[in-house]
Amino acid sequence: MRKFTAANLVSFINQLDKNIAYNYINPRTRGLIKVISVILPEGPIRIKRWNPSKGETEYDKKIETISSEMLWRVANSFTPGQPINFDRVLGASYNTRSVLESLIAYTPEFYYCYPGRIENKGSHSAVKHGHKHIMWKPMQPHELGLLVEADTEIVISEMPSINVYYDALMVPENNSNHELDIDIQRRHAQIQIALYFIGKQLNFRTWIANNDRGIVYQNKKISEYDGVISSLRDENLLIAYEEAARAALLIDCIWFKNGRLMPAVMEIEHSTGVTSGLSRMKNFKDSFPPFPTRYVIVAPDEDRDKVIREANKEQFKDLQTKFFPYSSVEELYSLCQRRKIRGINEEFLDSFMEPTLIA
């Protein structure tokens, strides 16, 4: 399945005529929208909006910005043929959400639609007229610059949005990433915590990098949590390979299973160069006999293109790296928190990771 990115979204909107004022999808919204400029590849997008019925003109209004962060949040929500509701994706955030929704609908691969909504009252349910949604239909493009409604028989049973909760966390002062902003260090640690709990739910034992073992979560060091490996030299798979055990010491997270399997070797790259993580995994792989595992870069969704570009450099191609975006990590972590999933095989992980190798 094709992965939709913020770069795709920005490219599509950049094709719109910047000399035309566009209407909103809802005809009751009397305003007009104009694209002023688009910064490639991932935004921001600068727009103006005004309401002629109130005597406003384009020249009265300041330029507003649709941020890259907003574009990524929306792009991550699209799956072919599945309607999305902007208000549910963005919540109360971003006062330009109806602007972005309308601009997207003017591009060829997107339609607006009104899927049915399942309304439950006690033991009775009924399908009611639904709210406006946007649907991505990449195989059925329409003409650029037109708003086209898609007929759909899809009905939606609305569930509460998925939230991921992290408890009290403290990054040690002697963390080797001290040169990074504390918020970046904290985000790195949160993802490490999520990976540990995912692994625990899947009955994996977890190695946490030497320099991160002092992270304190829920008033306890992560190294003291059940299932966190205390020494790689004692791990069955690595006992005979001292050089490999040494190469793995600073790898952010490695999952082991049953003393015989190694489901994943993972490097978390948050606002740092992807190359350093790939290099650590490459050094580990080269000092260890051929063994089936996943070499994984875990990174913010917006770093996808960078991960793919670096992972396809000749020196890293044999890793056959997978990309595990933060949104997928937290989706799986949330699933583990809510449903305590069990009895699944390791291939389940692959549905949350994206291969990066370009043939």
Q: What is the mean pLDDT of each run of 10 residues along the chain (359 residues)?
A: 83 97 92 96 95 93 93 90 87 83 97 82 63 93 96 74 72 57 79 93 93 90 94 89 93 94 93 85 94 94 88 95 91 83 80 87
pLDDT value of position 101 = 95
pLDDT value of position 164 = 74
Whether 298 and 256 share a structural domain: yes
Whether 94 and 183 share a structural domain: no
**Separation CA 130–CA 153 (nearest Å):** 11
**Separation CA 160–CA 48 (nearest Å):** 33
Residue 58 within any structural domain of the chain: yes
Q: ω into residue 172 within 30 of 0, thus cis?
A: no
Residue 1 within any structural domain of the chain: no
Whether 151 and 173 share a structural domain: no
User: Which of 269, 263, 229, 271 is CA-nearest to residue 249?
Assistant: 229
Taking residue 221's Cβ as centre, other Cβ atoms within 10 Å add up to 15
Please, are residues 118 and 155 in contact by the beta-carbon 8 Å criterion?
yes
**Separation CA 226–CA 66 (nearest Å):** 44
Domain C-terminal end among 121, 156, 191: 156
Whether 14 and 152 share a structural domain: yes
Whether 249 and 146 share a structural domain: no
Please, are residues 43 and 67 in contact by the beta-carbon 8 Å criterion?
yes
Whether 129 and 53 share a structural domain: yes
Whether 244 and 207 share a structural domain: yes
User: Which of 312, 309, 307 is CA-nearest to residue 323?
Assistant: 307
Long-range (24+ apart) CB contacts under 8 A made by 284-291 are: 284/244, 284/247, 284/248, 284/251, 285/318, 285/319, 287/241, 287/243, 287/244, 287/246, 287/247, 288/238, 288/241, 288/244, 288/247, 289/241, 291/237, 291/262
Residue 284 within any structural domain of the chain: yes
**Separation CA 250–CA 284 (nearest Å):** 10
Whether 249 and 322 share a structural domain: yes
3-state secondary structure of 283: helix
pLDDT value of position 4 = 87
Whether 188 and 303 share a structural domain: yes
**Separation CA 102–CA 21 (nearest Å):** 12
- Count the helix, strand and coil residues of the chain and give each as a percent rounded to the nearest 5: 35, 20, 45
Q: How many separate domains does the chain show?
A: 2
Whether 146 and 196 share a structural domain: no
Please, are residues 349 and 263 in contact by the beta-carbon 8 Å criterion?
yes
pLDDT value of position 48 = 97
Output DSSP code: residue 343: S
| Torsion over CA: 271, 215, 321, 282 (sign) | positive
- The residue with tokens 């009895």 is 343
Residue 261 within any structural domain of the chain: yes
Residues linked to residue 48 through DSSP beta bridges, in sequence order: 34
Residue 351: domain span: 169-355
Residue 31 within any structural domain of the chain: yes
Taking residue 236's Cβ as centre, other Cβ atoms within 10 Å add up to 10
Residue 163 within any structural domain of the chain: no
User: Which of 28, 25, 11 is CA-nearest to residue 103?
Assistant: 25
pLDDT value of position 178 = 46
How far apart, in Å, are the Cα atoms of 352 and each of 100, 171, 210, 250, 300? 27, 27, 27, 24, 14
